Amino acid sequence: QKEVEQNSGPLSVPEGAIASLNCTYSDRGSQSFFWYRQYSGKSPELIMFIYSNGDKEDGRFTAQLNKASQYVSLLIRDSQPSDSATYLCAVNIPAGPLVFGKGTRLSVIA
């Protein structure tokens, strides 16, 4: 059974701080890893994907992947109130649907 685990939160961080979101997955065959952001009442929006071990940076976002530990994380630097949302980790194996975690709710306090 493919599972993706996330802490449901809420994770509260002050404005300007670094928010760290974590995700673990069970299927060692997983090859691609995604972070989506979902605002309340809206559909998920793709933020980043990563498929190689290490870090991948895009603006204020950094995705980190450790396949040996089956661990994916998302760092948000200089957090803004507009970053307050639910962040969904998703994992894929080829030709299958993405398997989503239940999401972590982030609250950035001004």
Residue 79 or 101 having the CB closest to another protein: 101
User: C-beta of 93: minimal distance to another protein in Å?
Assistant: 9
Question: Rounded CA gap, 17 and 66, in Å?
Answer: 24
Q: For the CB of residue 75, give the shortest distance to another protein in the complex, in Å.
A: 20
**Counting runs of H as helices and runs of E as strands, what totals does the chain give?**
0, 11
CB nearer another protein, residue 41 or residue 110: 41
Nearer to another protein, 72 or 101 (CB): 101
Contact set with another protein (CB under 8 A): 32, 34, 36, 41-46, 49, 51, 88, 90, 92, 94, 97-98, 100-103
Nearest distance from residue 86's CB to another protein, in Å?
A: 9
| Coil vs helix vs strand at 45 | strand
Q: Shortest distance, CB of residue 99 to another protein, whole angstroms? A: 8
Count of beta carbons in the 10 Å neighbourhood of residue 80 = 13
Q: Spell out the SS3 assignment of 58-99.
A: ECCEEEEEECCCCEEEEEECCCCHHHCEEEEEEEECCCCCCE
